Amino acid sequence: MSAGAVAAIDLGATSGRVMIGHVGDGLLQLEPIARFANDPVQAGDGLHIDILRMYGAALAGLRDAFRAEPRLASIGVDSWAVDYGLLRDGSLVGNPFHYRDPRSAHGVASVHARMPHAALYARNGLQFLPFTTLYQLAAEPAARLAFADTVLLIPDLIGFWLTGNARAERTNASTTGLLRAGAWDDGLAELLGLPQGILPSLIAPGEALGMLQPAVAAAVCGDAPVVAVGSHDTASAVVAVPMADPTRAAYISCGTWGLVGIELDAPVMTDAARTAAFTNEGGVDGRVRFLHNVTGLWLLSESVRAWEAHDGRPIDLPALLTQAAAVTGPTPLFDANDQTLSTPGDMPARIAVLLQHGGHPVPADRATMVRTIIESIAQAFADAVHTVARVTGRTLQVVHIVGGGSLNALLCQATADRAQLPVSAGPVEATALGNVLVQARTAGAVSGSLEALRDLVARTQRLTLFRPGPS
Ligand code: LFR
């Protein structure tokens, strides 16, 4: 089997990247090509994604990728979940919203008036999150929705612009709330008043979406097929979790969010799973990502943003984390999952309110506040790990932390201590690795099950072990 090179477009909450993945026997390497900001824009009617700016930057990155590697075998796109563009006759109907825009609250009320969450859970198996696509769609003005003929989630929208083909990739489609047992839930779509035919046909990771449109190929000075990957970033990240035995391992895909869960062969849609707020999202190769969304490093990044705005200059986060690690004495905790923390704004002030409500002192300095944030996230992680073990009856022996959070030693150690389980940290680029691995398998550069792909990750990527200390 010969080594191959593929390109990953990976759009994250704070930045997007284009990377080349070199994959083969014993080879798994990422070559960063381009990095660009993902800055949501507050404009008139709400908080929006700057989708055209990101698409333009992704195209420029692809051009650089073809310059570095003219024989790319394929291109794959992933991003965060739930957000979408509405189209009519191939053109966007308005600029896509950002899921942190509060408008979806109206959608929640209107959907639950027609079907309460427990009934929805029995169909789609999703944890209640107010920004799930179906609530966002229900918050759309009726006329705009009626005018649209297609809805495309963000990676599908990028794929459509690249190839001209409008499809819905399965893992990300599972985050819309409109998928039932692997097919679009037409009954629910009708109940919610979605125009008929607005949901595109599904495509599975590994299937070809199509070749670049001629104008795109000319713009990027290269040509290659676009291949569907786990286009939900978390689905791609889970592909690259180096679990030796998925029946005994939990994972935390930790970036802006901390997605804490396990991999299953079939969904668990019991009352216990629903009340524990566990979700059944679609994984690559038909696996199920049984997980809970914990508000992750968003709490830290949003605090840093507030402090930088206050000071009028950048904060040295690594230095602040070192100071936070040196803080001694008991740390007050707050509920990292509290809904009041999910929207943009003054995070330290909102955390202070939660601490005061809990009868705790408010940290007097930033280092102590950072320590409180990290320990509170770690506690929420540990709680979710114990809950998933309880709900599924599994005995877990290790927790894998992948993504940006795997570089945060304070968080990894605190999670190990609070969960009383060893934490294996890494790879940091799990999402991009999962993206390239699925493409490489389609291209024939690697073969086998997810286990074989994970074994390649374990053999090639840097992993750090954190042993649990006193809790
Ligand atoms: C992580 C993620 C989560 C999803 C949230 C919103 O980047 O994709 O899985 O719940 O973002 O889309």
- pLDDT truncated to tens, each residue of the chain (471 aa)? 567 999 999 999 999 999 999 999 999 999 999 999 999 999 989 999 999 999 999 999 999 999 999 999 999 999 999 999 999 999 999 999 999 999 999 999 999 999 999 999 999 999 999 999 999 999 999 999 999 999 999 999 999 999 999 999 999 999 999 999 999 999 999 999 999 999 999 999 999 999 999 999 999 999 999 999 999 999 999 999 999 999 999 999 999 999 999 999 999 999 999 999 999 999 999 999 999 999 999 999 999 999 999 999 999 999 999 999 999 988 999 999 999 999 899 999 999 999 999 999 999 999 999 999 999 999 999 999 999 999 999 999 999 999 999 999 999 999 999 999 999 999 999 999 999 999 999 999 999 999 999 999 999 999 999 999 987
3-state SS of 430-452? HHHHHHHHHHHHHHCCCCCCHHH
Nearest CA to ligand 1 atom 7: 80
Give the Cα separation of 96 and 86 in Å (integer). Answer: 7
Residue 416's identity, in one-letter code, is A
188 lines ligand 1 (CB under 6 A): no
Domains and CATH numbers, the chain: 4-233 (3.30.420.40), 243-426 (3.30.420.40)
For residue 3, the model assigns a pLDDT of 78
For residue 330, the model assigns a pLDDT of 87
For residue 41, the model assigns a pLDDT of 97
Closest atom of ligand 1 to CA, residue 80? 8
For residue 1, the model assigns a pLDDT of 56
Pocket probe for ligand 1: among 79, 80, 290, the residue whose CB has the most ligand atoms within 8 Å is 80
257 CA distance to ligand 1 centroid (A)? 7
Residue position matching structure tokens 């990101």: 54
Active-site residue, from 185, 233, 383, 417: 233
- CA 427 to chain CA mean position, Å: 15
Residue 313's identity, in one-letter code, is R
For residue 205, the model assigns a pLDDT of 98
For residue 84, the model assigns a pLDDT of 98
Nearest CA to ligand 1 atom 9: 234
Closest atom of ligand 1 to CA, residue 81? 12
Closest atom of ligand 1 to CA, residue 175? 10
Give the Cα separation of 431 and 435 in Å (integer). Answer: 6
Pocket probe for ligand 1: among 99, 254, 257, the residue whose CB has the most ligand atoms within 8 Å is 257
For residue 470, the model assigns a pLDDT of 84
The ipTM value here is 0.99
- Known active-site residue 89: no
List helix spans (H) across 69-185: 104-114, 117-124, 133-138, 142-147, 154-163, 170-173
Structure tokens that stand for 357 in this block:
């409500």
The count of C-alpha atoms lying within 13 angstroms of the C-alpha of 449, restricted to the half-sphere facing its C-beta, is 6
385 lines ligand 1 (CB under 6 A): no
Compute the residue count for the chain: 471
Closest atom of ligand 1 to CA, residue 253? 1
